[in-house]
Every structure is written in C-alpha cells, then in structure tokens.
Amino acid sequence: MARLQNKTALITGGTSGIGLETARQFIAEGARVAITGSSARSVEAARAEFGDKVLVIQADAGDVAGQRVVAGAISDAFGHLDILFVNAGIAEFGPIEQWGEDAFDKSISVNVKGPFFLVQALLPIFSKQASIVLNTSINAHIGMPNSSVYALTKGALLTLAKTLSGELVGRGIRVNAVSPGPISTPLYGKLGMSEADSAAMAAHIQSQIPVGRFGDPDEVAKTIVFLASDEARFIVGSELVIDGGMSNL
C-alpha cells in the first residue's frame, strides 16, 4: 500500500520504540520522513539503518529553542510538512513525596512544553491537509500509583489534542491523539530499576491487561499510519486507546 505517498512526515523520538517502528511504516507507505532523537548513539543507529531514506536530527525534545531548529531543518529539507507525530517523551515514576522541582520540570519540558512549541514553530509550513498525532497514554485515565507526574503530562497532551483540533482545523490541520497502554519498548528499560524489580513490575502490569500481553510497537504504528492518512480525514480531536482493554477494567 502507499497511503502516505508524496506526503512529508516528522516523527519526534523516532530513533527507538514506537517512533522507530512508525518511521519504518511511514516509509513503507510512501512518505518522506524525518525523525528526531536525543542521544548521539540512537541517532547514529538510525542513520545506519535508514541511510539517506530518512532525515535524522539530534534534538532535545524539551528545549524550546531546539524546536525552532528542528522546524527550520524540516522547512529546508521538505519545504512543507503533512504529518507530525509527537512521540518523544520521558516516563519517570515515584511517590509524590520523592519528587523534586528539577525532575518535575524536566518531565513537563520534554512531554508538554517542547511539543507545544514544536507545533507552534511548524505552523508556517504545515500543509492545508496536515495531520498531527500526539502520543499520550492510558496513564492519563487510570490513576496508577506513582505515576502522578507522568500522568499529568500525558493528560496535558490529551487536552492539547482537543483544544488544538478546534483551533487549527480551520487551517486544514487535523489533530488527534493515541493513548497506548503497556507496549514492549525500551521505555521500561530506562526506569533505573533492577532486573528483578523490572520483571516484577512487568508481570504485575501484564496481569492487568485483559488480552494477557504487552502490545507491540507495530500495533501502535498501524494506528498512527491510519490517523496520518487521508482515510482519517473526518477524524478530528479524537483519542484512540491502544491498551488491550486495560483501561476498561
């Protein structure tokens, strides 16, 4: 299929996990793709995989000035942008009494502030039939203990999807959100937990998923391809939950 033929796309956090798989599927669907990554190692790995098929940009998702640099690189490379998948983010968990201001501000910057100003910076180059997809989370809905900061950032993104959909639809820009549940990505390996604690956490989470397993990045990426394509041109301000039924318990 070529549902994204001749479309240009930017994926933030596109060097691993859901973002990386979405980049692969966007390419398979015919899109010209740019991705961002925060670490030199992940950026080089992506360049090695994609070669000249993808524009790979190293960028800090929480740096406001950096978002303008990314927007400039997209303008120079593509001239316009049809699809934005806001995927870059961090997940830090802990009881409320253990949170400090610096860690709180970092989560807000990467998960909310950076995405807001990236959309702002890209406004001049969005096409008149553009699609923005924000990657939120079922944590915005389920009240999981120790997820207070992560959940509030994802809740903010979900609200942003709804408000920007109303504000930007007149410019021909559709805004929607996906809210994945537990997905098998490197995210869970970045929580700073021991192998035993990580395994115990994974088992506990899996026990709460009605389908009995973690999701696969491929399953989320397919949903994003749909929302990015013209097949979803009548879907505006919506949230598609991809969680194996977890949030229905």
150 noted as active-site residue? yes
The closest alpha carbon to 183, from 160, 208, 150, 216, belongs to 216
Residues 6+ apart with CB under 8 A from 148: 96, 99
Q: What is the DSSP letter of 41?
A: H
Strand partners, 176: 133
Q: Which residue has the tokens 């740096």?
A: 63
Residue type, 76: D
- Reduced to 3 states (helix: H, G, I; strand: E, B; else coil), residue 154 is helix
Q: In what order do the strands lie in the sheet with 81-86?
A: 54-58, 32-37, 8-11, 81-86, 126-135, 173-180, 239-242
- Reduced to 3 states (helix: H, G, I; strand: E, B; else coil), residue 123 is helix
Question: Catalytic residue among 26, 85, 150, 188, which?
Answer: 150
**Backbone CA torsion sign across 112, 166, 246, 15:** negative
Question: Using CA atoms, how far apart are residues 29 and 6, in angstroms rounded to an integer?
Answer: 9
Q: What residues are annotated to the active site? A: 150
